[in-house]
């Protein structure tokens, strides 16, 4: 594979000193450093306007870094190998109606691999495999807008799983889900053996799924540690407008390892 893999495997994601200003002059990122090892599940926390979405859009080269670098499994994000980068980074957007744009679930899941040139039986196999992993194989021929919200979110996960990504990036995966769909999605995410970076405001969900969390605030990473540690740090939480739901005490939870 890549030359770096001869020693230790390169981390799934390596962001170093990443800075970015929007064309209108508003600077969103001021030197972000973040490394996510292979197979890790990391929550990216932070208040609104902290630059979380901006950071996510750098991971697959939609936005181009003003300064600093982003590497996906050793491959630097840049114009030369954008197609490969976009295969390696699977972004699940917040609104599944934005993500599912094809007339049927099957075609939607096939879109990514087919864009990469996969055809015929190999493509069918890939689609079935991805849909099975999220428990939606029976819905392959349905139009996405006839599914429930939770089902659409799961199909959205399948659409990126079908590309066999190195890292799965989820934007607010638990938003708008009822408790049962929330739990089903959590079970699915836990069963996957891919690296996960999860952008969320849902702190209990982060605690449930991600052993490690990072806090992005004001365009820099201000904290990086185990999720339980961070959530118990009242000072840190207050400074960065992070609040736990009423009655939720992160100390009282036995974190699954």
Partner 1 sequence: MGAGHAHKLYRHGHSPVHALPAHCKIAAVFCFVLVVVSTPREAVWAFGLYALLIAAAAAAARIPAGFLLKRLLIEVPFVAFALLMPFVAEGPRTEVLGMSLSASGLWGAWNILAKGTLGVAASVLLAATTELRELLLGLQRLRMPPLLVQIASFMIRYGDVITDEMRRMRIARLSRGFEARGIRHWGVLAKSAGALFIRSYERGERVHLAMVSRGYTGTMPRLAETTATRTQWTRAAALPLAALAVCLLGWTL
Closest contact distance (angstroms) between CB of 241 and partner 1 is 25
Print burial letters for 126-150: b (CB count within 10 Å at least 16), e (below 16): bbeebbebbebbebbeeebeebeeb
Q: Residue 146 or residue 190: which is nearer to partner 1 going by CB?
A: 146
Closest contact distance (angstroms) between CB of 31 and partner 1 is 25
Q: Which of 160, 161, 168, 223 binds partner 1 (CB under 8 A)?
A: 160
Instruction: Count interface residues toward partner 1 (CB under 8 A).
Output: 33
Closest contact distance (angstroms) between CB of 56 and partner 1 is 10
Closest contact distance (angstroms) between CB of 52 and partner 1 is 15
Closest contact distance (angstroms) between CB of 108 and partner 1 is 9
Look at residues 73, 63, 1, 75 and name the one whose alpha carbon lies nearest to residue 32.
63
Asked if 244 is part of the footprint of partner 1 (rule: CB under 8 A), the reply reads no
Q: Which of residues 180-239 bind partner 1 (CB under 8 A)?
A: none
Closest contact distance (angstroms) between CB of 115 and partner 1 is 4
- Interacting residues of 109 by C-beta distance below 8 A, sequence separation 6+: 127, 130, 131, 140, 155, 158, 159, 162
Q: Which of residues 86-145 bind partner 1 (CB under 8 A)?
A: 86-87, 89, 91, 93, 95, 97-99, 101-104, 107, 110-112, 114-116, 123, 142-145
The footprint of partner 1 (CB under 8 A) covers 57, 60, 62, 83, 86-87, 89, 91, 93, 95, 97-99, 101-104, 107, 110-112, 114-116, 123, 142-146, 159-160, 163
């Amino acid at each position: 594979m890549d030359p770096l893999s001869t020693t230790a495997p390169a981390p799934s994601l390596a962001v170093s000193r990443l800075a970015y200003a929007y064309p209108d002059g508003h600077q969103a990122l001021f030197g972000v450093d973040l490394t996510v090892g292979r197979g890790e599940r990391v929550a990216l926390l932070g208040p609104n306007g902290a630059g979380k979405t901006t950071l996510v859009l750098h991971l697959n080269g939609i936005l181009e870094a003003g300064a600093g670098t982003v590497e996906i499994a050793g491959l630097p994000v840049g114009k030369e190998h954008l197609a490969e980068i976009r295969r390696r980074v699977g972004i699940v957007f917040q609104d599944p109606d934005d993500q599912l744009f094809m007339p049927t679930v099957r075609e939607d899941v096939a879109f990514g691999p087919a864009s990469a040139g996969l055809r015929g039986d190999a493509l069918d196999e890939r689609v079935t495999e991805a849909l099975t992993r999220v428990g939606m194989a029976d819905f392959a021929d349905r139009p996405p807008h006839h599914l429930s919200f939770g089902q659409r979110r799961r199909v959205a996960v399948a659409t990126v799983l079908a590309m066999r990504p190195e890292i799965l990036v989820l934007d607010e995966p638990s938003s708008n889900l009822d408790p049962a769909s929330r739990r089903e999605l959590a079970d699915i995410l836990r069963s996957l053996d891919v690296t996960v970076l999860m952008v969320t405001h849902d702190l209990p969900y982060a605690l449930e799924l991600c052993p490690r969390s990072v806090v992005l605030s004001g365009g820099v990473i201000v904290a990086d540690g185990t999720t339980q540690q961070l959530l118990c740090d009242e000072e840190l939480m207050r400074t960065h407008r992070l609040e736990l739901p009423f009655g939720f005490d992160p100390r009282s939870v036995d974190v699954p390892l």
